[in-house]
Amino acid sequence: MYTPLIDEMIEKYEYPVLTEEALEAFQKEHHDVVLFFTENANNYPESNDVAIILPEIMKSFEGRIAAAVVSRESERPLQRSYRFKGYPALVFLRDGEYVGTISKVRDWLEYIDEFKTMLATTPTPPPAFDLDNICPGSTPAKA
């Protein structure tokens, strides 16, 4: 299902693997949440890097945020909901509402700064789809 490194992270740190359905209950139990979207780590080997970095960052925030891994079958539907573009991704929620996303691998200090920013940010709707990025040269339909 995941790579051995991601499986080890899940087991060692007891991160739940959440389906779309289980996400709602998890969010009700935790004020601030970070969801790890691994995608297929064979296609996105950077997910293995995040599997090493995430637990270390979580230690820095001493229980202020709860981490979970999104199940492979729920990744695409939830990705459409949160509208991020790159993998691996860490999606931040507060009381079930979208706060922001960190996509791709960052260096340690960037992660720390981004986590601090996410914890201080007010939830907003996820970003709109950028159709020009999805379909370059497309023009919006006229009403």
| pLDDT(2) > 80 | yes
For the record, the structure tokens of 49 come out as 């890097």
The two counts, helices (H) then strands (E), for the chain are 6, 5
Number of residues assigned to the chain: 143
Per the CB < 8 A criterion, the answer to whether 38 and 88 are in contact is yes
Burial 63-93 (b: 16+ CB within 10 A, else e): eebbbbbbbeebbeebbeebebeebbbbbbb
Q: Which fold has domain 4-134?
A: Glutaredoxin (3.40.30)
pLDDT for 53: 96
Locate the domains of the chain by residue range. 4-134
Would you place residue 139 in the very low, low, confident or very high pLDDT band (cuts 50, 70, 90)? Answer: very low
